[in-house]
Amino acid sequence: MLLFTYGCATYEEKLQHFDKFYYQQGDVQKAFDFSKNLHKNALLWEIQSGLSAYMAGKYEDSIKKLNEAESKFNQNHMQNIFQSALTNTGATLLNDNVKTYQGNLYEGVFINYYKALDALALGDNAKARIEFNRANDRQRRAKQYYQKEIQKTIQENIKNTEKETKSSSMIDKNTSQDKINSILDTQYSNLKKFKGYSGFINPTISYVSGLYFSLQGDHKGIDLLKESYGINQSQIIGEDILLFQKQNPFKKHTWIIIEDGKNATKKEFSIKLPLFLLSDEVYYFGLALPQLEDGVDFYQNFTLQGIHSKTFDQISLTDNIIANEFSKQLPYILTRSIISAIYKTSLQKILNNQLGSFAGFLGALFSATTTSADTRITTVFPNKVWLMRIDNKVGNFFIDADKKNIFEFDIIDCDSKNPLLENEHKICKNTNNLIYIRTTKNNIIYKLLIGEKE
């Protein structure tokens, strides 16, 4: 029992250590070095490692780690991660933390998205196109997956549980379920405040993909821009749609994407109830369930200071994406927890009847100490994404976050006699540009993903 408690604590300690490097210190190289050799919960750490490598400018390492993550994710997806989880005997008798980390569909989408950004940073347009296509295809399949697989899995396993254990027929389900529903209504009320993105579409991924394809002259880019605009109604994206429909090749622009904050995480809350049986005996019945904690913003708003002052548009909130998928998982999570609680309560009754009250007490102690929620989640994604577009005019520009200057760049007139070589914060007036910025608590990470590079 101590082994499983310790295993969970170790994971949490490692994640806190990673977050200290990544967010508090803003040292993404240390975050990569720390995470790249962690093998337990390999999928989770490969995602963490892959993104920290991208932030550190180690694009080949990032692609390698994200390829490993994608391979595991695809294997889990093919096997139906929910069916395999519900039929896992160890997880039923203990808790979900004994299973390897399976991943969420939104994480699979992010894997391909950041591989596309890696490819852009390397100047590999063919690879970027492939990964953007995969990211958009994956997120469109997510809704269909949940509709079919989760409900099928829940019904099959409820049916199997009723066949395999007689103890389920002894439970006064109405008494306990009423209490459970009351607590769930309170504990999960925060999910109602999120306006879930339709069809599991991440508007940032649709937008950046659409921008890339539009700049490449691919007409499907406009459809992706429209998809993003339909979710966030960003004025800038609406203007982009009109801009690319007009297709003026002589007018150049610079787009700025800012990723800010830390995505939503999970914490555990417990429901400990007496389970009323038809024989009027009472046994320990405990549920431990994961609950979402809101993501964290490092800054509340961003403005661009230059020829004119302009405010960035917020184009996505990762909490919405996570909460939308989490809400679809809740029926599975609750069913899974109830099945585990039924098995453990049955064990208590068997021990009590056959070996006496002390054995029953040990069974109750086993139930209490092995009832734990699976709160594992990647922490490396932003909470919010912000967007700006400007016409390319020679000048000096500042990005202010909450009225604090966090980044400065120049747009200059580049030609063959005046090549762009000396300062990475100098952007060409003569090309379309995409600037990527990632905030941490104590660092600003800058990349020029599209535009003239050294």
Tens-digit pLDDT profile for residues 375-409: 899 999 999 999 999 999 999 999 999 999 999 99
Cα torsion for 175, 177, 183, 189, to the nearest 10°?
Answer: -140
* Model confidence at 91: pLDDT above 60: no
Question: How high is the pLDDT of residue 142?
Answer: 80
- Within a domain: residue 413? no
Highest averaged pLDDT of the listed ranges 87-91, 151-155, 166-170, 251-255? 251-255
**d(Cα 426, Cα 435) in Å, to the nearest integer?**
11
Provide the residue type at 381 as one letter: F
Question: Reduced to 3 states, what is the DSSP secondary structure of residue 171?
Answer: strand
User: Are 324 and 194 within 8 A, CB to CB?
Assistant: yes
Q: Could you give phi then psi for residue 248, rounded to 5 degrees?
A: -95, 105
Does 285 map to a domain?
Answer: yes
- DSSP character at residue 278: T
Instruction: State how far the alpha carbon of 114 is from the alpha carbons of 12, 278, 393, 449, 454, in Å.
Output: 25, 55, 30, 12, 22
Range of lowest pLDDT (51-65, 73-87, 315-329): 73-87
Q: In the predicted model, what is the mean pLDDT of residues 214-223?
A: 95
CA gap 196, 179 in Å, rounded = 27
Total domain count, the chain? 1
| DSSP conformational letter for 377 | -
Helix axes 173-187, 318-355, angle to 10 degrees: 150
Q: Which residues pair with 407 in a beta bridge?
A: 399
Q: Which of 33-42, 75-84, 178-187, 312-321 has the lowest mean pLDDT?
A: 178-187
Q: Is residue 412 part of a domain?
A: no
In a domain, 113, yes or no: yes
Residue 406 lies in a domain: no
State the amino acid at position 168 in one-letter form.
Answer: S
Cβ atoms of 311 and 236 within 8 Å: the answer is: no
The β-bridge partners of 8 are none
Nearest-angstrom CA–CA distance, 108 and 120: 19
Instruction: Indicate if the pLDDT at residue 103 is higher than 50.
Output: yes
Strands 282-293 and 433-439: unpaired
Q: How confident is the model at residue 74 (pLDDT cuts 50, 70, 90)?
A: very high
For residue 216, pLDDT over 90 is answered with yes
User: Which of 115, 109, 160 is closest to 343 using CA atoms?
Assistant: 160
Give the contacts of 173 (CB within 8 A, at least 6 positions apart).
Answer: none
* Ranges 69-73, 207-211, 370-374: which has the least confidence: 370-374
Q: What residues does 128 pair with on adjacent strands?
A: none
Which residues span the domain enclosing 257?
Answer: 2-398+421-450
Q: What share of the chain is helix, strand, coil (3-state, %, to 5)?
A: 55, 20, 25
Say if residues 269 and 287 touch (Cβ distance below 8 Å).
no
Calculate mean pLDDT across residues 408-430.
76
Provide the residue type at 225 as one letter: L
DSSP state of 130: H
Mean pLDDT, the chain, whole residue set: 81
Residues in the chain: 454
The verdict on residue 415 lying in a domain is no
- The verdict on residue 125 lying in a domain is yes
Confidence of residue 240 (pLDDT cuts 50, 70, 90): very high
Is the residue at 403 inside a domain?
Answer: no
